[in-house]
Structure 1
Amino acid sequence: MSNVGQQLASGALSGLATTVCLQPFDLLKTRMQQGGQGLSQPRPGSSLIANVTRNVIRNEGWRGLWGGTAPSLVRNVPGVAFYMTGVTQLRSLMARSPYFSVFRTTKRTTSGSVLPTLTSQGNLVAGAVTRVAVGFVLNPFSVLKARFESNLHHYTGLNQALASLIKSGPSELFRGFWASSLRDAPYAGLFLLSYEQIKYEMSRLFPSSSTLRSSVIHSLSAASAGAIATMATHPFDVIKTRIQVRPEDQYQSFVGTVRAILRERGVAGMFDGASLRMSRKVLSSAIGWAVYEGILILWTSSGKVALKSTSSKLL
């Protein structure tokens, strides 16, 4: 399998694992962020998260927590595959430039990473550009994902929902894209920058001597980077969700949506679902990047073993 093929397969498996395991976090976050009649007030002494969870289980059963898994898989499996492959390929290209490349032999050998090494500016650019590009291509599926997770839209199936969205035209297909970009560009840039820096520092403190230790370093680094990037960009996630799931006039524009959220919930509304998104991002980053880099390391190692075996036979 080619390098690109390995990266796509690794990214797809990463997206599959994180989506199936963590879908309840996404569903509850969307229900909290949607506002309006779809969100009842919590009981006295009860948290909003507990109230929303209780409502979902009461009305839809435990399986309801995995509502929207199908569109999430359609969005996230290719999305993660394209993003991780794209960012790896872009980093490889940028590493040829003296402005973005950096030579750190200890970084690759001690962390066990097989990914290209860039400067901080390079990681920011690579993460932001790739994330926005993938987000643009898959935005229609992001809209469907958010609507299936909310209880404000009722579709009979994924095909019917997609057909309805296409019939509505480009304005619906790319609904919320700008809010998504304002969230994704800084998130991806900050994440990649933090991930590589934390991974480098951790590998210096705890040199990797095995694949297991490398996976632990990658997981902890990704989890820490995910936490940093999530809190810096969460208000845009709330805005994006409102625009994509609410049909009312006040949610047709970015500025109008901000005003509506502040009027309804105040500044605190900009951080609705923050703890759920934080938990989801920390866990998905830890699982996703450990799976992605771990599979690439295994494939790279097996390729080297096969090459040595072939060479010894020829000799």
Structure 2
Amino acid sequence: MSNVSQHLISGALSGFASGIALQPFDLLKTRMQQGDGGVVGQKQKLRIIGTAREVVRTNGVLGLWRGTTATLLRNIPGVALYFTGLNQLRTVLSTSPYFTSMRKSETNTHGTTLPKLTSQGNLLSGAFTRVSVGFVLNPFSVLKARYESNLYAYSSLLGALRSMARGGPSELFKGFLPSALRDAPYAGLFIAFYEGIKHETNLLMPSSSPLHAAGVHSFSAASAGAIATMVTHPFDVVKTKMQVRSEQRYQGLMQTVVTVWKQRGVPGFFDGAVLRLSRKVLSSAIGWAVYEGMLIFMRTTGKQSPLKSS
């Protein structure tokens, strides 16, 4: 099996596992962010509980998984392309003295699968790959947000895509700019923190088994995800508003920012932050453990390692 195929398969499995397990977090986050107007006198925890109760009351427990198919259409190819593109770009950057880490590469077979880069290389590779994949799959991101929202009554995925396509590129690529402003720093910071935390953790507790390695990857990814999520969350709120609201005041980046500011002030930019933080921590832990675990499994079962030379 080729290197690219191994990364695509591992990334796809990662996207499938996290998408299925964590869909309720995405749905509730979207419902909390979709509103138009102020929310007075209610803490975010109570809003989460109230939103979840309303979904279950209206659609049953399975209603929390509404939009799962749309999520998988976005996440499976998205995560597969992200991990594969990230690996390819990191491999290219690792040939440059400016981006190559002087850190001695780990020789432990359970340690890592990624080339070693400087902090600049980690930031650049993560940001560029995430934004590129986000652009290609933005129509599915819009579809996902609208299926999670209760503002649309699409009867089928194909019908929804056709409806969006009739609106032209402006409809299919709605919310891409705030998505890019969210994803570029998120991905860059995530990769930089992930590699740094993983390196320090491996120094303190060297990986001795696949299970231990999975724990290190999960801890490193969860910690990096938490830091990057809180820094970039305001753009996630703006992105959701632009993708699900049809009012004129949500038709542009600055218009949406001004609208949220007037309606809610600073708290308005952190609607759903607890849900996104929980989702990102868990998806990072699950996703990177599955991804690196699958690659390590392929390597240790005698198949060619995609990054053995690194």
- Give the letter aligned to residue 17 of structure 1: A
1:263 offset after TM fit, Å? Answer: 1.8
**Structure 2 vs 1, CA of residues 82 and 283 (structure 1 numbering), >3 Å: closer, same or farther?**
same
Hey, what does 1:208 align to over in structure 2?
A: 207
Native 8 Å contact 2:229 2:276 kept in 1: yes
Match of 1:22 in 2: 22
Greater C-alpha radius of gyration: 1
Give CA deviations for 1:148-197 in whole Å, capped at 9, x if unaligned: 00011110010000011111100001000000000000000000000000
Q: Quick one: which amino acid aligns to residue 109 of structure 1?
A: N
**1:187·1:232 contact (CA, 8 Å) conserved in 2?**
yes
Within-5 A mapping of 1:31-42: 31-36=31-36
Structure 1 residues 22-31 or 259-268, which shifts more? 259-268
1:25–1:280 CA contact under 8 A, matched in 2: yes
Contact 2:175–2:243 (8 Å) recurs in 1: yes
Unaligned 5+ segments in structure 2 are 306-310
- Say if 2:128 is the partner of 1:129: yes
Q: Which residue of 2 aligns with 1:169?
A: 168
The match for 1:180 is 179
Structure 1 letter corresponding to 2:18: T
Offset, 1:305: 9.1
Bigger relative contact order, structure 1 or 2 (CA pairs below 8 A, ≥6 apart): 2
1:313 paired residue number: none
Alignment pair present for 1:152 and 2:167: no
Q: CA deviation at 1:259?
A: 1.3
Query: 1:312 aligns to what?
Result: none
TM-score, normalised by the number of residues in structure 2: 0.94
Decide whether aligned partners of structure 1 residues 261 and 108 sit closer, same or farther in structure 2, where only a CA change above 3 A counts: farther
Amino acid at match of 2:48: I
Q: How does 1:103-118 map to 2 (within 5 A)?
A: 103-105=102-104, 107=106, 109=108, 112-118=111-117
Please list every run of 5 or more consecutive structure 1 residues that lacks an aligned counterpart in the other structure.
Answer: 307-315
Change (3 A) 1:76 1:10: same
Question: Structure 1 residues 41, 73: closer, same or farther in 2, change over 3 A?
Answer: farther
For 2:49 and 2:295, the matched residues in 1 are separated by: 39
Q: Does 1:293 align with 2:304?
A: no
1:43 Cα deviation from its structure 2 partner: 7.3
Structure 2 equivalent of residue 310 of structure 1: none
SS of aligned partner of 2:113: coil
1:59 aligns with 2:26: no
Identity of aligned residues (%): 60
How far did 1:301 drift?
A: 1.3
Tell me which residue corresponds to 1:11: 11
Provide the rounded CA distance (Å) in 2 between the counterparts of 1:305 and 1:89.
16
**Does the Cα contact within 8 Å between 1:111 and 1:208 map onto a contact in 2?**
yes
1:164 to 1:110, Cα distance in 2 relative to 1, 3 A: same
**What is the letter of the counterpart of residue 242 of structure 1?**
K
Structure 1 equivalent of residue 140 of structure 2: 141
Q: Cα distance, 1:105 vs. partner?
A: 2.9
* AA of the residue aligned to 1:255: M
Q: Report the 3-state secondary structure (helix = DSSP H, G, I; strand = E; otherwise coil) of the residue aligned with 2:302.
A: helix
1:186-245 deviation line (CA, Å, top 9, x unaligned): 000000000000000000000011111111000000000000000000000000000000
Shift in Å, 1:260 = 1.2
1:300, distance to aligned residue in structure 2 (A): 1.1
In the alignment, the residues of structure 1 paired with residue 262 and residue 304 of structure 2 have an alpha-carbon distance, to the nearest angstrom, of 62
Is this contact kept in 2: 1:139–1:173, CA < 8 A?
yes
Contact (CA 8 Å) 1:175, 1:244: kept in 2 or not?
A: yes
Indicate how the Cα distance of structure 1 residues 110 and 297 shifts in structure 2: closer, same or farther if over 3 A, else same: closer
Q: TM-score if structure 1 supplies the norm length?
A: 0.93
Match of 2:308 in 1: none
Where is the helix percentage greater, Structure 1 or Structure 2?
1
Report the Cα offset of residue 304 of structure 1: 5.3
Measure, in 2, the Cα distance between the counterparts of 1:101 and 1:46: 44
Aligned CA-pair RMSD: 1.9
| Residues 110-119 or 68-77, more deviating | 110-119
